[in-house]
A = this chain, B = another copy of it.
Amino acid sequence: MLSFARRLLGRPLPRRESDSQRLPSLIALPILSSDALSSVAYATEAALGVLLLAGSGALGLSLPITVCIVGLIAIVVLSYRQAIEAYPEGGGSYVVARENLGAWAGLVAAAALLVDYTLTAAVSLMAAAQALSSLLPGLLAHETSLSLLLLALVGWANLRGLKEAGRLFVVPTYAFVVMVALLALFGLQNIVFAHGFRPDAPPAIAALEPLGLFLILRAFSAGCSAMTGIEAIANGVKVFREPSARRAQATLLVMGVLLALLFLAVSGLAYLYGIAPNPDRTVLAQIGLRVFGPGNPLYWFLQISTLLILGLAANTAFAGFPRLAALLAKDRYLPRQMAWLGDRLVFQNGIGLLLLVSALVIVVCRGNTNVAINLYALGVFLAFTLSQAGLVKHWWVRRGQGWSGRLALNALGAFTTGVVFAVIVVSKFDEGAWIVVLLLPLLVWGLAGIGRRYKRVYDAIELKPGEDCSVPWPDRRDPLENQSIVWLASWSRPTLEALRYAAQVSDRVIGVWVCEPEDDFEALRLRWHRLVGDAPQFELRLLESPFASLIDPFAQFVAEEEARCPGSQFTIVMPMAIPRRRFDHLLLNQRGLNMREALNAQHSRVFTLVRYFPPA
C-alpha cells in the first residue's frame, strides 16, 4: 500500500523545498490569473443564455451588459490594488474581513470563499469538458465523466505537489490570450471585409419570457461570473520578486486590462456573428468555427488552449482551498488535520475534501454549468464586498497619507459589489441562489461551532496559572503505586512478555482471562501457577462472559478495580504479536483495538501495548 501511494505521489519532499521561489511578474501573471482570464470562456455564454429567453432579438443587449461589467472590473481592480498596499503579506478576504470587521465577518468571508473555490473547480472543469466536446462531438454524451476525469488529473497533480511544474503553467494562459486576440483580429477583419461591417442576424428563436428589467438583471448577474478570480493576485503577493507589492499592483492592472479586453472581444464577436448559445457547442467554439473555419488548426488551438486554461483555473482552486482550510484550522475553525502538511508538502486533507465536494457538484450538475455559475458569482461578490468593507475600516483606523481617497475608492468598491451581490441574490434566487443563501449561514454556523468546541476542549486540557504543574521525581524507596491488569488470551510468548513487563513496573499484577464456555478453569489456574510461581503479587482472575463479547467483561472488571482503589494507578497491559508480514495482521486477533475503545469509554487511564516481534 505504502509503496503504491509513494509511487503515485512521489518521494517525500524535504521542508526547504517549501520556500516558494519568488517569480518575475511575467511568470506570476499567468500563474495567478488563469482563473480570472479563463472565465471569459463561459461568462458571455451565461449572459446570452439568459437573454435568449426573451428571444434572439434580445441577444444584442449583451453588449451594454458587457460594458457595465467591464466598468465593475475597473472598480474592483483598483480597489484590490489598495488591498495589496494595505496587506503586502497577502490579504485574502478572510484575513482582511477578520482583522477589520471581526471574527464573524471573517467566517462569512471564509465560508463564501470555500464555496467559491469548490465551484471554481467544478465549473472550470465542466467548461473544460465542454470545450473539448465542442471539438469532438462524440464526447458530448460523456461530458460528466470527462469532467470527473479532468478533476482526478488535477487532484492527482496537486497531491503530488506540482510546484515543480509551476513554470509550465505559463504556456496555456498566454496561449489562450494569444488565441482570443487572434480570434478578435481575424474576426474583425472578416466582418469588415466580407460583411461590410454588418452584424449577422442570430438564428430566429422565439421568446419564452417578456424582456423586462428583471431579465436584464439576471443576464447581468450571469455575466458577472467573468469577475471570478480577480482576488488571486492580491492573495499571492508573496509570490512576486521584491518589491513584491509594487510588482503585484502592476501585474493586477495588466491582468484587469487583459480581462476587460478579452471579455469585450468575446461578447463583441458573439454579437457581430449573431451567435446564440446552443447545448452542443460553446459560444467561444462557435465564434472560433465561424472565424477560423472547421478544418483550420487555429480552431483546434483555440479549443485546446481553452481546455488547458480552464484546467489551470481549477488548479487555482486546488491551491486556494487547502491553503484557506489550513488557515482556518490554525485558527481552530476546522479540524487540525486540515493544517497537516503531507510528505509532498501539500495540505493533502484539504485537497481530498475539495476533490470530494467538487466531484459531487459535477455529478449533481451533470455537466450543466448554469446553476453552478449562479452560486459562484454570489460567493465571489460577497467576498469582494466584505474585503472592501474591511479595507474601508482599515483606512479609517490607520489614516496615513492620502487615506481619504483610498477610503473613498474602497467604499465605492464595497458599495458597488454589495449592490451587485444583492442584485444576484434577488434576480437569481429561483435559479439556485437560494442554495447559497441557505448554505452560507450553515457553513458559518458549522465553522463557529467547531471553533467553540475547540475552545472548550483546549480550555479543559490547558494548564491553568497557579495549578500544580510540577513533575517531581518519585522516591524509589517507596512502592511504585502502580498496579497492572494483564489481558490473557493464550499462553504464548506475547503473554509472557506482557507479564514480565507488568511485573517490572508495578506493585501488583492481575492476569485476567475471560472464559469461553468450553474453557477448563482448573487447567487455566494450573498453567498460570506454572508461569508465575507463588509470588503473592501475581493474581489470576477468571471471568465468565454472560454475553458473546469477551471485551465487555474485561472492561467492566477494570472499571470495578479502578473504582475500588480510587487513589491507585492502574496500567492495562495488552499483549500483542506483530507478525512480520503486513498481511498476517489480518489473521491475528484484532481485539486490542476494540479493547482500547472499550477502555476509553470506561475512563481507564493508562493503556499499554506490549508487542512481541517474532524473530525472522
**Chain A: residues with CB nearer than 8 A to chain B?**
12-15, 335-337, 340-345, 450, 453-454, 456-458, 460-463, 469-474, 476, 479-482, 491-494, 496-497, 499-501, 503-506, 517, 530-533, 535, 537-538, 545-549, 569, 571, 577-579, 581, 583-584, 586-590, 596, 600, 603-615
Contact = CB atoms under 8 A, between A and B. Distances in A.
Nearest to A599: B611
Given A453-B584, A461-B577, A588-B457, A499 B482 contact: no
B504 A463 contact: no
A296 B532 CA distance: 78
A369 to B, nearest CB: 32
A531 B474 CA distance: 14
User: What number of copies of this chain does the assembly contain?
Assistant: 2
A492 B469 CA distance: 9
A343 B547 contact: yes
A589 B454 CA distance: 11
B471 A531 contact: yes
A562 to B, nearest CB: 12
Contacts of A581: 453
B546 A15 contact: yes
A615 to B, nearest CB: 7
4 A-B pairs with least C-beta separation: A460-B614, A341-B548, A473-B535, A505-B505
Given A548-B342, A577-B457, A611-B606, A493 B15 contact: no
A530 B469 contact: yes
A339 to B, nearest CB: 10
A574 to B, nearest CB: 10
A482 B463 contact: no
Contacts of A479: 476
- Determine which residue in A342, A345, A457 has the highest number of CB atoms from chain B within 10 A of its CB, and name it: A457
Contact of A12 (B503, B548, B615): B548
A587 to B, nearest CB: 5
A581 B449 CA distance: 14
Given A15-B548, A605-B610, A538 B457 contact: no
Nearest to A608: B608
Given A457-B587, A461-B492, A590-B337, A345 B548 contact: yes
Contact of A579 (B457, B491, B492, B583): B457
A6 to B, nearest CB: 13
A338 to B, nearest CB: 11
Contacts of A15: 517, 545-548
Nearest to A569: B504
A134 to B, nearest CB: 36
Contact of A457 (B569, B584, B603): B584
28 contacts: A12-B547, A12-B549, A15-B548, A335-B586, A336-B588, A343-B548, A450-B587, A454-B587, A457-B577, A458-B492, A460-B577, A460-B579, A463-B491, A469-B496, A469-B530, A469-B531, A470-B531, A471-B503, A476-B479, A482-B505, A501-B569, A505-B505, A505-B571, A571-B608, A596-B609, A605-B610, A605-B612, A606-B610
A171 to B, nearest CB: 29
B492 A462 contact: yes
Given A463-B491, A471-B499, A609 B612 contact: no
Nearest to A484: B505
Contacts of A590: 337
A343 B546 contact: no
A493 B462 contact: yes
Given A461-B577, A463-B492, A471 B538 contact: yes
B473 A537 contact: yes
Contacts of A549: 12, 343
Contacts of A537: 473
Nearest to A605: B611
A457 B453 CA distance: 45
Given A453-B583, A606-B609, A613-B603, A505 B533 contact: no
Nearest to A459: B614
A605 B493 CA distance: 13
A611 B581 CA distance: 30
A481 B504 contact: yes
